[in-house]
Amino acid sequence: MALITRTIPSPLGPLTLVASSTGLREIRFAGEAVDAPEAEEGDSPILARAVAQLAEYFAGTRREFDIPLEPQGTPFQLSVWKVIEGIGYGETISYGEEARRLGDAKKSRAVGSANGRNPLPIIVPCHRIIGSDGSLTGYSGGMEKKVWLLDHERDVTAARLPVRKAADDPRLGELFAKGLNGPSGDPLNIFGVLGNHPDMLKRWLVFATHVLSKNSLSPRDRELLILRTGWNCGSRYEWGQHVVIARDCGISDAEIEAVKSGADAPSWSAHDRLLMQAADELHRHQTLSDHTWDALTSVYSTEQVLDVVATVGNYTMVAMFLNSTGVRLDEGVPDEPALRRRKK
């Protein structure tokens, strides 16, 4: 039976797929050899279907796969892989539980060995097997990939509200036509989620537009305040979106990294350190100390000092929306692993 192979990009690096005319046989990460060296490069209905469904999985719009599978293994391995297929999206089980589901709780070691030989990772989700104490154990593709997959599924299941579109409500059509859409033409996820309350979204946008577009602070100062606020609030979405905007404002990657350390980063100028200090005081105490107020008023107008407070206040509220509703990152927005695993 002729085998066809195709390599595709993914958030986990290149994936090499192998399929017969009737089923998908392998998915290999970069650096892993396929078990079918005779396979020829090409495409097929099975591969096209697998590629499309994997893209949907990585985009967060697919939780179950519907692809004919033909993994090659021993009868025991095939029975183990069948158990793995039954682990739900976002669910994790231990090796002991996997063995119990197989029918013999004493075979957890043999089950672990079979997991390591799984030829169809992601689709046969062996990344969902963890240690009995909750620890993350080995993964043939590498631990970073296992962490990414578990975090990705946790993020998708954490979304508490749908992303609404213009067709869902006439009021949203009017709002989204005013520049709230991303490169795809759909609304950015934050606006789509806040679109679950169109009247609130409309009124909030007036203030949000002032803070982002009419601010009396320089774009650089504004973005440093927003980044520090996003970091303080543990908001992956806010941080990622404003990393992109900060770069457009001329803020370097080294400075973006320094924001994580706040005023303690030794590389800051006195002015930038003052901004970090102001953002931290407003976050921790909801007020500026006399020292910080005096320092700000010595370099800023009254309007600018008020915009410092408005910027941190607005983006603190935005972080509350984002964190509470579980808004997912938009495509192309950089993620920050440290915020992925920070406990709220």
CATH class of the 4-59 domain in this structure: alpha beta
What does the pLDDT read at residue 342? 54
Separation between Cα atoms, residue 336 and residue 136, nearest integer Å: 20
- From 52, 118, 55, 116, select the one nearest 85 (Cα to Cα): 118
Handedness of CA 38, 43, 46, 52 (dihedral sign): positive
> Tokens 């063995």 sit at which residue?
99
CATH of 75-158, one of 3.40.50.970, 1.10.10.10, 1.20.1250.20, 3.40.50.720: 1.10.10.10
pLDDT at 174 over 90: no
What does the pLDDT read at residue 183? 72
Separation between Cα atoms, residue 331 and residue 186, nearest integer Å: 11
Active-site residue set: 126
- Average pLDDT of span 325-334: 88
- Average pLDDT of span 324-339: 86
Residue-wise pLDDT tens digits, 130-170:
988 888 887 888 999 999 999 889 888 878 898 898 899 99
- From 29, 319, 228, select the one nearest 148 (Cα to Cα): 29
pLDDT class of 1 with cuts at 50, 70, 90: low
Separation between Cα atoms, residue 298 and residue 317, nearest integer Å: 28
Question: What's the mean per-residue pLDDT of the chain?
Answer: 93
Residue-wise pLDDT tens digits, 175-223:
888 778 777 778 899 999 999 999 999 999 999 999 999 999 999 999 9
Separation between Cα atoms, residue 189 and residue 46, nearest integer Å: 32
**CATH architecture for the domain at 215-340:** Up-down Bundle (1.20)
Per-residue CA distances from 55 to 18, 58, 96, 182 (Å): 16, 5, 32, 19
This model's pTM is above 0.85: no
What does the pLDDT read at residue 343? 45
* CA angle, 186 then 192 then 198, to 5°: 125
Pairing mode, if any, of strands 40-41 and 4-8? parallel
**Do 296 and 308 contact (CB within 8 A), yes or no?**
yes
Per-residue CA distances from 307 to 64, 205, 216, 257 (Å): 47, 16, 7, 24
Residue-wise pLDDT tens digits, 4-47:
999 999 999 999 999 999 999 999 999 998 998 889 999 999 99
User: DSSP per residue over 293-332, as a string?
Assistant: HHHHHTTS-HHHHHHHHHHHHHHHHHHHHHHHHTPPPPTT
pLDDT at 71 over 70: yes
DSSP one-letter code for 125 = -
What lies within 8 Å, CB to CB, of 277 at 6+ separation is 262, 263, 292
Separation between Cα atoms, residue 179 and residue 165, nearest integer Å: 13
**Do 316 and 217 contact (CB within 8 A), yes or no?**
no
Task: Look at residue 79 and give its three-state secondary structure.
Answer: helix
One-letter amino acid of 34: V
User: DSSP per residue over 227-289, as a string?
Assistant: HHHHHHTT-HHHHHHHHHHHHHTT--HHHHHHHTTGGG-TT--HHHHHHHHHHHHHHHHSS--
Residue-wise pLDDT tens digits, 219-275:
999 999 999 999 999 999 999 999 999 999 999 999 999 999 999 999 999 999 999
Residue-wise pLDDT tens digits, 115-132:
999 999 999 999 999 988
> Tokens 């892993």 sit at which residue?
32
Domain segments of the chain as ranges: 4-59, 75-158, 215-340
Strand order, beta sheet including 24-29: 24-29, 15-19, 4-8, 40-41
